[in-house]
Chain A
């Protein structure tokens, strides 16, 4: 813990000569982290043992540990603090900050994606519909530092690949002119989880309870309410209840009612819900494959990087001696073989996947299947090959391999 006193003192020293101007705090924090790299001075055990032995600690925040497993404040300065965030299972979504500073990877590694959000329709301060655009991805490793820019200028996500991962964050407390902190549900929704309206939250909780005890009445009631309530209310309640509604027709009826009364919201929300469901599912599969670091890497990429070229680039970066398509096919075979998906792949799926990754068209794949590479029980004609290719390219697991969504930012 002594190290963080030293780091905090250095940050204060650098910032003081700048008049404690928040606008340049990120540069100050970055400089301090570069001068005193935490990974060269401390480690997980140092931090945990030091914090638990101490008779006193700086004021702790986020006591529900919503951001970090848990977060630990290790230094309090004038209008800034230093935190160590531990990550065991935490999957922070895409978010922006109402503070500035810099972070340092103390242990582990993470996939760091950057995004931007183009607003198209403001519902209210808490909910904006628009377009989330993926702009950049990199792999952060121990010792890496990155600035945190307050406000809409930096929208990012860090998906921690190792268990545990630790980050040191040097940050201002809050910059009110940069609030609120939006979170993004790609591809179309920006909302502020920290500003949820208390009344709406409690009403959602009541409806969740009612869904358990009186499901049919709850769904009737909910459909009536959706025809009466405002768009923000419908968003919050659907967001809270959606994963608990398992009846296909009930879901369709809810969507139809919401779509009829809040068309713009539903146009944005349906694809965003699809992304949430697929993200949760891949996270579950990733948890089930155990300690296989290669599979965990592949699944982390598929979950977080919506661009096939970028996925291939990162794999090539980390595994430079192996052909990327071969590696992807081999890893997908292992994921399927692990039984964690709940279904198997027919051999023709692997072959079609390999050919699609190599850029072959459905016609070319059909020709290969018709000739020497036919597989027992495989697709028999072009229409069947096209259906299989379409299914692979739109698969919840594999579709990022086939899209080019990265937006170049000048």
Chain B
């Protein structure tokens, strides 16, 4: 956990904590392991009979099965089935499934499915599902959706105001690297400062938090988070914290 106790030198320092009582807990939670080993094919290790529920049309069960089928360690040939389950779940109005199938399309078949993916992300975001709103903004900035930096920035600002830490990170890394927007290093660092990462060490800690989150995330979200972590490690090094060089090297070696 990062707790800023020293006097702030920039008005943006810790602004996130002013609106979020939990403050900057860069705690990697073990409550959700999005990269959990493939389980359903191993005889239904899930605690609840999701297969039966999914067959009966339960949208959450369909999403859980779909997501499990899409895990990298799932048996060969089941990924299409996973996509079908996710699509069914999304069609019944489940915003979590909408985001998952949209991100899947954008990572594997963007040229053909971009419009449908954007439509699903838009719908999930309009259902107040914040992760979908942040993902939509990220794809509008970074591709493969048609670039729309103005709308992306609006979405990210709104998400940040509603408490999304990831929205802060996407804003920061885009502005620092110039990916999707005009580069503005000071503005980018300002978004890190808002999160309490107002010196080299804390920027590195935030990068480590993101990298740990990436390792526990599902593909393709994992790829996005890893990229943000790499930007933060570089920024931390540029600010003088060479302790994170090893983390960055490890991240690069793992691809």
Binding site for B on A (CB under 8 A): 211, 214-217, 219-221, 223-228, 245-250, 252-253, 255-257, 259-260, 277-278, 281, 339, 341-346, 348-349, 375-379, 384, 387-388, 390-392, 394-397
CB-CB < 8 A to A225: which residues of B? 48
Q: B58 near A227 (CB under 8 angstroms)?
A: yes
Contact pick for B30, options A215, A224, A277, CB 8 Å: A215
- B3 & A343 in contact (Cβ 8 Å cutoff): yes
Separation of A281 and B196 alpha carbons in the complex (Å): 19
Q: List 10 A-B contacts (CB under 8 A).
A: A215-B30, A216-B33, A228-B53, A249-B34, A250-B32, A253-B32, A253-B96, A343-B196, A348-B11, A397-B18
Closest to B32 in A: A250
CB proximity of A307 to chain B, nearest CB, Å: 20
Verify if B108 is at the interface (C-beta below 8 Å from A): no
A253 to B59 CA separation, bound complex (whole angstroms): 13
| B29 lies within 8 A of chain A by Cβ | yes
The answer, among A215, A227, A377, A391, for a CB contact under 8 Å with B15, is A391
Q: Does B207 contact A (CB under 8 A)?
A: no
The answer on a CB contact under 8 Å between A343 and B4 is yes
For B165, the chain A residues whose CB sits under 8 A away are 248
Contacts A249-B131, A250-B32, A257-B96; A220 near B64 (Cβ below 8 A): yes
CB–CB B32/A249 < 8 A: yes
Q: Indicate if B76 sits at the interface (CB-CB under 8 A).
A: no
Question: Which of B5, B19, B31, B130 is the one whose CB lies under 8 Å from A252?
Answer: B130
The distance in angstroms between the C-alpha atoms of A344 and B5, with both chains bound, is 6
Interface size class of B (residues with CB under 8 A): 35 or more
With A216-B36, A252-B130 as known contacts, state yes or no: A221 contacts B10, CB within 8 Å. Answer: no
User: Contact check: which of A219, A224, A342, A390 meets B32 at CB < 8 Å?
Assistant: A219
| A259, B129: Cα distance in complex, Å | 9
Contact B18 A377 (CB under 8 A): no
The residues of B that contact A248 with a CB separation of less than 8 Å are: 164-166
In the bound complex, how far is the Cα of B128 from the Cα of A259, in angstroms? 9
- The B148-175 residues at the A interface (CB cut-off 8 A) are 161, 164-166
Report how far A390 CA is from B161 CA in the complex, Å: 10
Chain A residues in 8 Å Cβ range of B13 = 344, 346
* A277 CA to B25 CA, complexed, in Å: 15
Find out whether the CB atom of A256 lies under 8 angstroms from the CB atom of B64. no
A260–B95 touching, CB < 8 Å: yes
A215: B residues at CB distance < 8 A: 29-32
Which of A260, A349, A394 is close to B127, meaning CB atoms less than 8 Å apart?
A260
Known: A224-B58, A256-B95, A260-B127. A250 touches B31 (CB 8 A): yes
Hey, which chain B residues are within 8 Å of A341, CB to CB? 17
Q: Quick one: given A224-B58, A249-B32, are A377 and B10 in contact (CB under 8 Å)?
A: yes
Give the complex CA separation of A122 and B87 in angstroms: 35
CB <8 Å contact, B58 and A252:
no
Q: Is the CB of A246 within 8 A of B59?
A: no
B11→A247 contact, CB < 8 A: no
Judge whether B47 and A379 touch: CB under 8 Å.
no
Complex interface: chain A residues within 8 A of B147 (CB): none
Q: Which residues of A contact B8 (CB under 8 A)?
A: 344-346, 377
Q: Chain A residues near B96 (CB, 8 Å)?
A: 253, 256-257
Q: Are B31 and A216 in contact (CB under 8 A)?
A: yes
* A349–B11 touching, CB < 8 Å: yes
CA distance in complex: A226, B48 (Å): 13
Q: Which of B10, B60, B130 contacts A227 (CB 8 A)?
A: B60
Residues of chain A within 8 A of B64, CB atoms compared = 220, 223-224
In the A-B complex, the 5 residue pairs with the closest CB atoms: A247-B29, A215-B31, A281-B21, A343-B14, A343-B17
Q: Which residue of the partner chain A has the closest CB to B92?
A: A260
Find out whether the CB atom of A344 lies under 8 angstroms from the CB atom of B127. Answer: no
Is the Cβ of A344 less than 8 Å from the Cβ of B14?
yes
CB distance from A97 to the nearest CB of B (A): 31
Partner of B23, one of A252, A256, A343, A348: A343
Asked if B183 is at the interface of the complex by the 8 Å CB criterion, the answer is: no
In the complex, which of the residues A216, A260, A388 contacts B11, with contact meaning CB atoms closer than 8 Å?
A388
Cross-chain contact A220 with B21 (CB below 8 angstroms): no
Q: Which residue of A lies closest to B129 (CB)?
A: A256
